[in-house]
Amino acid sequence: MTSPLAGRVALITGASGGIGKAIARRLADEGADLCLTYGRNADDAEQAADYARAQGRRVIVTAADLSDPQAPGALVGQAADELGPVDLLVANAGTADIKGWQKIDLESWNATLAVNLTAPWLLAQQVLPTMIERRYGRILFISSVAALTGGVVGAHYAASKAGLHGLMHHLAPRVAADGVTVNSLAPALVGETKMFPADLETGTPPIPIPVGRIGRPDEVADMAIAMLRNGYLTNKVYTLDGGILPRD
Ligand SMILES: NC(=O)c1ccc[n+]([C@@H]2O[C@H](COP(=O)([O-])OP(=O)(O)OC[C@H]3O[C@@H](n4cnc5c(N)ncnc54)[C@H](OP(=O)(O)O)[C@@H]3O)[C@@H](O)[C@H]2O)c1
């Protein structure tokens, strides 16, 4: 059966990271065309692009420093020019500057908020008009269990991820009748990423995980695809954390 995501244009930020690469590969399997963005690591994004091209997908790979508020508009414009209007936005890029609350200076606070919250907001604001016009759209924010628990990275990180949930709750009901869903996927402790580079087999989690191991990027990608396929799911935070948090 053809996937409901086949032929859609997806913009995935942070496609050079562990989770972004996995989502890009799974979206290519679903038949979506891809605009993949990276910050500093072009080669990693190109790996995902090579896979998608081998599946016959149209792919562009582009650098974007998402701490620059001009970047989201430029990205959405480039994707539209080269692939067509964005149908699926996966706002996945994120930064995690591990610091105790006493040590978070304004520079670190602003840098974290810029990438983790302001950029997803500006991207959503840019893609929504054409999604509404075309009566189809999917916005997925990759947040974190830290938004719900406080987490271990820092106050700035937890606040930035919690901000995504507020943003989602505001937008989702306002665009639902236009065929646009807005959801958040909140993972915890996913290995084989630059953010948490632990080995999947031997990595020791900083807190106990009921399933007994850290998560895999492809498990996050599987959940992302299920959320993107589903037109009846909106305004939701789904946690994916090996059972750490007894909710959602
Ligand atoms: N791994 C976990 O345990 C975990 C848990 C909860 C939530 N998350 C969230 O999952 C998402 C993906 O992270 P990951 O685990 O895959 O980590 P990762 O491997 O470190 O990937 C992070 C991605 O974000 C990009 N990025 C960072 N700063 C950027 C900037 N200023 N401009 C543009 N792109 C930027 C990186 O690009 P370059 O590498 O090209 O610079 C990379 O593609 C993040 O939002 C993260 O907060 C991860």
Q: Would the CA dihedral through 115, 118, 123, 126 be positive or negative?
A: negative
What is the 193 CA–ligand 1 centroid distance (Å)?
8
What is the 118 CA–ligand 1 centroid distance (Å)?
15
The rounded percent of the chain whose pLDDT value lies above 70 is: 100
Counting from 1 in the atom list of ligand 1, the atom nearest the Cα of 93 is 24
Which ranges constitute the DSSP H helices of 69-154? Answer: 71-82, 106-113, 119-134, 146-149
C-beta of 93 in contact with ligand 1 (< 6 A): yes
Section 181-208 average pLDDT: 90
Q: Which residue has the tokens 């929504």?
A: 128
C-beta of 14 in contact with ligand 1 (< 6 A): yes
Section 135-163 average pLDDT: 97
Would you state the structure tokens that stand for residue 42, as one six-digit string?
A: 């072009």
The verdict on domain 9-240 having CATH code 3.40.50.720 is yes
The answer to whether residues 175 and 137 touch, using CB atoms and an 8 Å cutoff, is yes
Q: Give the burial class of 94: count Cβ atoms within 10 A of its Cβ; 0-12 exposed, 13-18 middle, 19 or more buried.
A: buried
What is the 218 CA–ligand 1 centroid distance (Å)?
15
pLDDT at 246: 87
Section 1-5 average pLDDT: 92
Section 148-173 average pLDDT: 97
Section 117-142 average pLDDT: 98
What is the 111 CA–ligand 1 centroid distance (Å)?
14
pLDDT at 75: 98
> In the predicted model, is pLDDT for residue 200 greater than 90?
no
Counting from 1 in the atom list of ligand 1, the atom nearest the Cα of 145 is 6
C-beta of 63 in contact with ligand 1 (< 6 A): no
Section 137-148 average pLDDT: 98
> In the predicted model, is pLDDT for residue 1 greater than 80?
no
Section 42-57 average pLDDT: 98
C-beta of 18 in contact with ligand 1 (< 6 A): yes
pLDDT (tens digit, 9 = 90+) per residue, 86-108?
999 999 999 999 999 999 999 99
C-beta of 19 in contact with ligand 1 (< 6 A): yes
Q: Parse the chain into domains and list their residue ranges.
A: 9-240
Active-site entry in 38, 51, 136, 157 = 157
157 given a catalytic annotation: yes
C-beta of 160 in contact with ligand 1 (< 6 A): no
pLDDT at 248: 62
